[in-house]
């Protein structure tokens, strides 16, 4: 049987609660990402392992996947999409060389294609997701 006395707050708990700023709960920090998890196919992950991808490459894959997923709307995620929508700093790419090496590895293993026709706005095409080009 459940005793309601077990759910009552003690005097110490009440004092601790009132000692907080205006008795309000502390706010949790907001998440930086709109994505709770990233989904990859197992053969794709095996290819990264077989090609001996480093940590920077794994981080780049996650950054590209997140950018692809958050760009566009449900079932209409653009592929190719601009490289500028990828939040590189959030994924640890503060230096150009690290970013360049990870992108070169993914291009060399044919997991992405980088279209540099417009050097100011290069387009990335991911090989592991369906191609969808939005109407201009």
Number of domains in the chain: 1
In terms of pTM, does the model score above 0.85? no
The answer to whether residue 61 sits within a structural domain is yes
Token pair of 117 as six digits: 């026709």
Query: What dihedral angle (degrees, nearest 10) is formed by the CA atoms of 122, 128, 130, 132?
Result: -10
The answer to whether residues 124 and 83 touch, using CB atoms and an 8 Å cutoff, is yes
The answer to whether residue 3 sits within a structural domain is no
Summarize pLDDT for 111-125 with one digit per residue, the tens: 999 999 998 899 999
The answer to whether residue 14 sits within a structural domain is no
The answer to whether residue 98 sits within a structural domain is yes
Domain, as residue range, for 77: 42-126
Lowest mean pLDDT among 9-18, 66-75, 85-94: 9-18
The answer to whether residue 1 sits within a structural domain is no
Judging by beta carbons within 10 Å of its beta carbon (0-12, 13-18, 19+), is residue 133 exposed, middle or buried? Answer: exposed
Summarize pLDDT for 31-41 with one digit per residue, the tens: 566 777 888 88
The answer to whether residue 17 sits within a structural domain is no
The answer to whether residue 101 sits within a structural domain is yes
Whole-angstrom distance, CA of residue 7 vs CA of residue 4: 6
The answer to whether residue 47 sits within a structural domain is yes
The more confident residue out of 65 and 17 is 65
């Amino acid at each position: 049987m459940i005793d309601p006395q077990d759910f009552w707050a003690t005097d110490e708990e009440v004092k601790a609660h009132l000692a907080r700023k205006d008795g309000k709960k502390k706010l949790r920090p907001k998440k930086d990402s709109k994505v709770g998890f990233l989904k990859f196919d197992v053969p794709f992950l095996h290819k990264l392992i077989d090609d001996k991808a480093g940590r920077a490459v794994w981080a780049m894959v996650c950054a590209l996947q997140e950018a692809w997923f958050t760009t566009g709307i449900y079932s209409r995620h653009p592929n190719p999409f601009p490289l500028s929508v990828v939040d590189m700093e959030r994924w640890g790419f503060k230096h150009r060389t690290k970013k360049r090496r990870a992108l070169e590895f993914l291009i060399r293993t044919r997991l992405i294609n980088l279209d540099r026709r417009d050097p100011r706005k290069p387009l990335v095409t991911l090989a592991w997701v369906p191609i969808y080009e939005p109407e201009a």
